[in-house]
Structure 1
Amino acid sequence: MVLLSPSIKGLRRLLSVCEHYGNAHGLKYNVSKTEMMVFASGSGPDSVPPVYLNGSEINVVRRFKYLGHLLTERLHDDADIERERRALAVRGNMLARRFSKCSKDVKTTLFKAYCLGMYTSQLWITFTQKAMSRIRVQYNDAFRALMRLPRCCSASGMFADAGVPDFFAVTRSRVASFWRRLRLSDNKILVAVSDDIRSPVFKRWISVHMDQNRK
């Protein structure tokens, strides 16, 4: 469960509601697994007042994994991109090792099934080009290793020949699908965010097309 509040006072009130509900229904929250993260604005606060749950102080962290996505106090995505890059490396090495003797068609099918997911990539808004370049190279190298292609071969050429989307096509597809789901949502807040040209989702949609055009 996640609680969001614009202030420490508000967060304490929310936790108080949880405590009263738990006591009334025989439930007890695990304080050792409960963490708090402050999303910094500007320079951020010099100190954070303590927040308690069932009499125990909640640990303050600088990053937190929620549903597999790494959140940081500055809302930077480099850490989550690195998480996905490492996961992609593991999947790519597994495919290259276990299915080295399979046909090209089988390898292509496996690559599409295991390496095109790019989990939560549609949420990557604030990142460095270095982080994005590292995962793009990892994606290309995973396909080369699986197909036993030389490192010097053209990435765009090998993906075109195999009928596999390149890294830019994958990210465009993920962002487009996410944006479409937001715009078709029954939640009016999500629709308002998706329709706002100033929203990070809209800016991300524009950026993936501009980056591809520059290539």
Structure 2
Amino acid sequence: MELFRSHCYSIYCNSLWSRYKVATMNRLKVCHNDILKRLLRLPRWCSSSLAFAMNGVNNLDVIRRHFVFSLRSRVELSTNSIITSVRQSSAYVCGPIQQRWLGLLFVQNVG
């Protein structure tokens, strides 16, 4: 599990991803799930959620939420004048990155 954590948790700059297709993200999730199953020598058809839970590792959605929350918190608390200017701009408030962040952090239950 240490191998999985050290190599599959390090998805650099994923908190800045804003332009991608849902299908692309789904393919990345499948790859992430398959890597864990291969390391555990589990069949490809077994439950990924169960494999993650039983081994105490985070799935891709949790990893991404963690990185987004961490970056967003640092941006919101920063006293740096450049970051403050960007944070107060409409590009930041209404831009695609902020929309993705809110979508990841505040998952809405529909139905």
Matched ranges for 1:31-110 at <5 A: 108-110=1-3
Alignment partners' CA distance in 1, 2:109 and 2:46? 21
User: Which residue of 75, 82, 88 maps to 1:182?
Assistant: 75
Q: How does 1:132-151 map to 2 (within 5 A)?
A: 132-151=25-44
Flag the structure with larger Rg: 1
Q: Is the 1:175–1:204 contact (alpha carbons within 8 Å) kept by the matching residues of 2?
A: no
Question: What do residues 89-126 of structure 1 show as CA deviations (whole Å, max 9, x unaligned)?
Answer: xxxxxxxxxxxxxxxxxxx1121111101111111001
Please name the residue that 2:84 is paired with: 191
Unaligned runs of 5+ in 2: none
- Map Cα deviations across residues 28-87 of structure 1 (whole Å, 9 max, x no partner): xxxxxxxxxxxxxxxxxxxxxxxxxxxxxxxxxxxxxxxxxxxxxxxxxxxxxxxxxxxx
Distance 2:109 2:83 in 1: 29
Q: More strand per residue: 1 or 2?
A: 1
Q: How many residues align?
A: 107
Whether contact under 8 Å (2:17, 2:97) holds in the other structure is no
CA drift of 1:160 comes to 0.7
Point out where structure 1 has 5 or more consecutive residues left out of the alignment.
1-107
Paired AA for residue 207 in structure 1:
G
How far apart, in 1, do the equivalents of 2:106 and 2:73 lie? 19
Equivalent residue number for residue 9 of structure 2: 116
Q: Structure 1's 210 and 110: CA in aligned 2 closer, same or farther, altered over 3 A?
A: same
- Deviation of 1:211 after TM superposition, in Å, equals 5.5
Between 1 and 2, higher relative CO (CA 8 Å, sep ≥ 6) is seen in 2
Shift of 1:194: 3.8
CA distance in 2, matches of 1:210, 1:180: 14
Which of the pair is proportionally richer in helix? Answer: 2
* Alignment root-mean-square deviation, CA: 2.1
